[in-house]
Amino acid sequence: MNEDTRLLTDTAERLLADHLDESRPEDGVWDAALWQTVEEAGLPLLLLPEAAGGLGLAPGDCWGVLAALGKYAAPAPIAETLLAGRLLADHGLMLPEGPATVALTDGPELTASKTDDGWLISGKVEAPALGESQICVAMAKAEGRHLLCRIASGGLAVAPARSLSGDPVGRIDLDGLALPADAVAETNDGEVVLRQGAIIRAVQMAGALDAVLALTAGYAQERVQFGRPLAKFQAIQQQLAELAAEAALATAAARTALQYFDDPGALFEVAAAKSQAGEAASRANAIAHQVHGAIGFTREYSLQHLTRRLWAWREQFGSEAYWQRRLGTLVAQKGADGLWPQLAVR
Amino acid sequence: MTLLAPFADDPVDLSAHGPLREEVRGFLEEERARRGIDHWVGSWEGFDRSFSEALGARGWLGMAIPKAYGGHAPDGPGGVLKRYVVLEEVLAAGAPVACNWISDRQSAPLLLRFGTEAQKQALLPGIASGNLCFAIGMSEPDSGSDLAALRTRATKVDGGWTINGTKVWTTHAHLADWMIALCRTSPVDESDRHAGLTQFLIDLSAETVRISPIINMAGDHHFNEVVFDDHFVADDAVVGDVGGGWHQVISELAFERSGPDRFLSTFRLMVEMVRAAGPEPDRYAAEAIGKLTGRIWAIRRMSLQVAGLLEQGQMPNVEAALVKDLGTTFEQSVPEVARRVAESEGADLSVLFQALLDYDILHTPSFSLRGGTREVLRGIIARGLGLR
Ligand SMILES: Cc1cc2nc3c(=O)[nH]c(=O)nc-3n(C[C@H](O)[C@H](O)[C@H](O)COP(=O)(O)OP(=O)(O)OC[C@H]3O[C@@H](n4cnc5c(N)ncnc54)[C@H](O)[C@@H]3O)c2cc1C
């Protein structure tokens, strides 16, 4: 990390901490004040190239800010807006102002058919904060061609729902929605949304795990039972050590995957990082709740902001089972003797 | 949390060392062919002095030993990572490196830091050429995790020391040339149990050193009991400071906890498991292979970050403990997963797969014991978290 990125990270952390320590909205309620604060600070533009009005940072340099979105369990589609903007810019499409989102994908794609002046899109879209966003980026398929689509979701009838984290998720069923030609870009990389979405989530998860570790270790040092802080009991120490190891593993994995954010050949790394973030989250959440006792099981106490998001993010852009299946298939195809060369490629 | 910070740093990237990697792979293939061995079983427990000498002849031992002592350490940076490439290639192939493993991994760095000039001159060139094998003399019958409880005594006599006591579990003492033994040189001080310990160089061929086999449950003669019976060593056998042994041992252990040997012990089985599952594994096998692959990849990424810290001259004890804890747990999980993949649709099991599976099942219990148990490592991590 250089000086600039450290400064950026500090700013983002301070801003999120200040806002979220003071007030945190009820589940599913749009936090307009938070959005305004992060927008004024320019966070949603972070991943954009300079030509599109961004800072032109390498994705790896955005680690601190992206991880902070997880660490502070930010209840707004900031990561989604960052990703949507980057996807649009990379494909030569315009990004309107305001919150944006990205379709959660690992399943069947949208289908598209060509018209005289654009495309007709059909299929189901599910996206975080879909009802609250101006646009949603999604992949569609038309006769074997991959299309990156900018769907103006503002006016559409979105069925609201909530994810496990309480963050809003919206669904729409598109039946021949007309998109103008300048809202669609063709690409060879049909999995770019899935891959980059998985990387962003893995980074947020690493940030959240960092916070779960700090919160849980801190609590164990404060809470006294049998005349001693919990942290003095060896059974508790051993669990916290395991939690630290899982958090460190998710961090190393996500940080590496972020390095290959723009590399369409990095499916191996993405599959490994997202599935391991999920594995780490499962173990870490269980330990954190066990060490906290009943207080951690309350709405009031802050642990749930982190653990519920970790559980929700595990599922998004490919669960552990999904990515492990893909990774296993990839390994099997390359054959037994290809395993080591793939692992040790960099 | 500062403990996680090194893992969030720019990822260490070994791709610049591709040519070296290819060279090592070529060498391993040649050596296997030359010895008429199809597959190596046993990884770093396999002992073959001639193989270690062949590694040494290529300049792939002593990569952290300065040229003045017969080693190949570069004058500038880059040494740790280059060495990492060689180590992981050799281990991933399952090559028999036991003869050089302990000496190159921990005895050489220990001697470099604490040894006398004469000791360095006498011993380091042999380590670099692969024909000096070292054993670790720490554990005793009544002193395992609680190392400071050890009772082997060294008593000062004219011109040297007389050593009496018993070491156990000493890996390859029956094949090794030297042992570095930790002994008590002054009585236990209950207010500072770590004081009064000293490391000595022991020539294992001496008559007053009695080595007897302890057969492990797999039936191998791997470790030993080593009894010192009024064994005399001269003053120049002291390594480092009299009374400073504890500090030296702790720094020695830091060298041995984060490397690829802590997650590759069962890698050959993983490879044969993939072969058994075939190019079109069923859903269960695909997920199982993907789960292990993702895990080992992530642990390797952690291990590389720790190697990056070592390269900068840091002593990342706690970070290394994190790697070893995850790594040994991973190694132990491989045979369990392989047993299930073996029953997946269309799995085609080779004789080699079965041999590796049997070998690994019988050896996995030791992975989370040797070099500090899982509970001890987690204690170190807990201290790093400020809990104790
Ligand atoms: C294959 C193999 C090779 C080895 N090679 C060598 C060698 O070359 N040289 C050498 O010196 N030693 C060697 N060892 C010994 C090794 O270092 C010891 O086995 C290890 O330090 C543990 O000591 P122990 O076996 O006496 O178990 P103990 O210390 O008796 O421990 C037994 C169990 O109790 C747990 N335990 C102990 N204390 C605590 C505590 N305070 N809190 C919680 N749990 C605790 C341990 O974690 C373990 O699970 C080798 C061991 C093996 C298995």
CB of A225 within 8 Å of any CB in chain B? no
Q: Do B289 and A332 touch (CB under 8 A)?
A: yes
Cβ contacts of A332 on chain B, cutoff 8 Å: 274, 277-281, 285-286, 289
Closest-lying ligand 1 atom to the alpha carbon of residue B374? 47
CB of A231 within 8 Å of any CB in chain B? yes
Cβ contacts of A67 on chain B, cutoff 8 Å: 8
Q: Which of A273, A276, A332 sits opposite B277 (nearest CB)?
A: A332
CB of A259 within 8 Å of any CB in chain B? yes
B136 CB near ligand 1 (under 6 Å): yes
Q: Do B8 and A206 touch (CB under 8 A)?
A: yes
* Ligand 1 pocket mutation pick from B102, B373, B376 by most atoms within 8 angstroms of CB: B373
- Pinpoint the alpha helices (H) of chain B: 5-8, 18-35, 49-57, 79-92, 98-102, 108-114, 117-129, 245-255, 267-277, 283-311, 317-341, 351-367, 374-384
Cβ contacts of A220 on chain B, cutoff 8 Å: 387
CATH architecture classification, A192-345: Up-down Bundle (1.20)
Are the C-beta atoms of residues A119 and A113 closer than 8 Å to each other? yes
B369 CB near ligand 1 (under 6 Å): yes
Q: Which of A67, A247, A328 sits opposite B281 (nearest CB)?
A: A328
Total residues belonging to chain A: 346
Concatenated DSSP letters for B324-345? HHHHHHHHHHHHHHHHHHTTST
Classified as helix, coil or strand, A235 is helix
C-alpha distances out from residue A85 to A105, A119, A256, A285, Å = 17, 21, 22, 31
C-alpha distances out from residue A336 to B222, B270, B276, Å = 30, 9, 9
Q: Give the 3-state secondary structure of B285-300.
A: HHHHHHHHHHHHHHHH
Q: Which amino acid is at A84?
A: A
Classified as helix, coil or strand, B148 is helix
Q: Do A220 and B293 touch (CB under 8 A)?
A: no
Give the distance from residue B275's alpha carbon to the nearest chain A alpha carbon, in angstroms.
5
* Ligand 1 pocket mutation pick from B43, B145, B170, B376 by most atoms within 8 angstroms of CB: B145
Is pTM beyond 0.90 here? yes
- Cα gap A131→A29, rounded to integer Å: 11
Question: In CATH, what class is A3-187?
Answer: mainly beta
Are the C-beta atoms of residues B169 and B214 closer than 8 Å to each other? yes
Q: Do B11 and A259 touch (CB under 8 A)?
A: yes
Give the dihedral sign, CA A75/A78/A81/A83.
Answer: negative
What are the sequence ranges of the domains in chain A?
A: 3-187, 192-345
Does the complex come out with an ipTM higher than 0.85?
A: yes
pLDDT for A236-255, tens place per residue? 999 999 999 999 999 999 99
pLDDT for A162-192, tens place per residue? 889 999 999 999 999 999 999 999 999 999 9
* Ligand 1 pocket mutation pick from B202, B366, B370 by most atoms within 8 angstroms of CB: B370
Per-residue pLDDT of chain B (388 residues; tens, 9 = 90+): 489 999 999 999 999 999 999 999 999 999 999 999 888 887 778 899 999 999 999 999 999 999 999 999 988 777 889 999 999 999 999 999 999 999 999 999 999 999 999 999 999 999 999 999 999 999 999 999 999 999 999 999 999 999 999 999 999 999 999 999 999 999 999 999 999 999 999 999 999 999 999 999 999 999 999 999 999 999 999 999 999 999 999 877 766 788 899 999 999 999 999 999 999 999 999 999 999 999 999 999 999 999 999 888 888 989 999 999 999 999 999 999 999 999 999 999 999 999 999 999 999 999 999 989 999 999 999 999 999 8
Are the C-beta atoms of residues B143 and B136 closer than 8 Å to each other? no
C-alpha distances out from residue A164 to A31, A169, B21, B226, Å = 18, 10, 46, 59
Q: Which of A234, A275, A335 sits opposite B290 (nearest CB)?
A: A275
A74: closest CA among A330, A346, A319, A306?
Answer: A306
A67-88 per-residue burial string, b: 16 or more CB within 10 A, e: under 16 = bbbbbbbbbbbbbbbbbbbbbb
Residue with tokens 């038309």: A142
Are the C-beta atoms of residues B275 and A336 closer than 8 Å to each other? yes
A170: closest CA among A178, A162, A180?
Answer: A162
- Cα gap A268→B298, rounded to integer Å: 11
User: What burial class does residue A29 get, using C-beta atoms within 10 Å of its C-beta: 0-12 exposed, 13-18 middle, 19+ buried?
Assistant: exposed
